[in-house]
Chains A and B, each alone.
Chain A
Amino acid sequence: QKEVEQDPGPLSVPEGAIVSLNCTYSNSAFQYFMWYRQYSRKGPELLMYTYSSGNKEDGRFTAQVDKSSKYISLFIRDSQPSDSATYLCAMSALWGSARQLTFGSGTQLTVLP
């Protein structure tokens, strides 16, 4: 079993839809939780990060963390074609001499105009 599980999709939605992306994890040592967005043939870029359980909102994006259930979500409201990308969840913990990220395998999202 992987430490971080993420549904790979692909997920296709019409423009304006609400999108829900999810990850589950098994390691209680994870402390910070992040979402990265990766456009085709580009490097991942940080979208949001959270530390504690609860919600964090940034424009059309809301990140949700439930540490008791080991479950994180990213909601995208009023989705746009420009949101079409692969979304990676990531979680950080101290391994060896540095804090490291463990990534989910990514969910490919297409928003249709």
Chain B
Amino acid sequence: NAGVTQTPKFQVLKTGQSMTLQCAQDMNHNSMYWYRQDPGMGLRLIYYSASEGTTDKGEVPNGYNVSRLNKREFSLRLESAAPSQTSVYFCASSDSQGTDTQYFGPGTRLTVL
């Protein structure tokens, strides 16, 4: 039982390049989330998926797109990376019942030059 896994762990991009961050969970959770974490800003929600086949914008969606590929997988795409997107990205999942607790992956450290 790996929980939430993310790939890659690190990435360096040049401005204007694109990339996809991958996330998978093996806990049979319905809801999945993408956050970014910046110093002094805490965790900010980019996009979420309440269930397979649905996605919604969070607090900071500009410059990102997401795909809920199936119940296990939720990817985040940067179409044209900008230096302002330099951050640590975390994926999380939740069963959306009971206590609303979310379980986080190890994160992807992204630097955009």
Interface residues of A (CB under 8 A from B): 6, 8, 31-32, 34, 36, 41-46, 49, 51, 88, 92, 96-101, 103-106
Contact = CB atoms under 8 A, between A and B. Distances in A.
B45 interface: yes
B96 A43 contact: no
Interface string B62-83: 0000000000000000000000
Contacts of A8: 40
B41 A49 contact: no
B90 A43 contact: yes
A42 B45 contact: no
Could you say which interface size class chain B belongs to?
20 to 34
A98 B105 contact: no
Nearest to B6: A43
Closest 10 pairs between A and B when the two form their complex, measured CB to CB: A98-B50, A43-B104, A92-B100, A105-B42, A97-B50, A103-B43, A103-B42, A99-B100, A44-B104, A32-B100
A99 B96 contact: yes
Contact of A43 (B42, B54, B105): B105
Given A98-B48, A98-B56, A100-B45, A44 B90 contact: yes
12 contacts: A6-B42, A32-B99, A32-B100, A32-B101, A43-B90, A45-B104, A46-B103, A97-B54, A98-B56, A99-B94, A100-B48, A104-B42
Q: Which of B31, B33, B58, B101 has the most CB of A within 10 A?
A: B101
B16 interface: no
Contacts of A46: 101-103
Contacts of B50: 96-98
Nearest to A89: B42
A42 B107 contact: yes
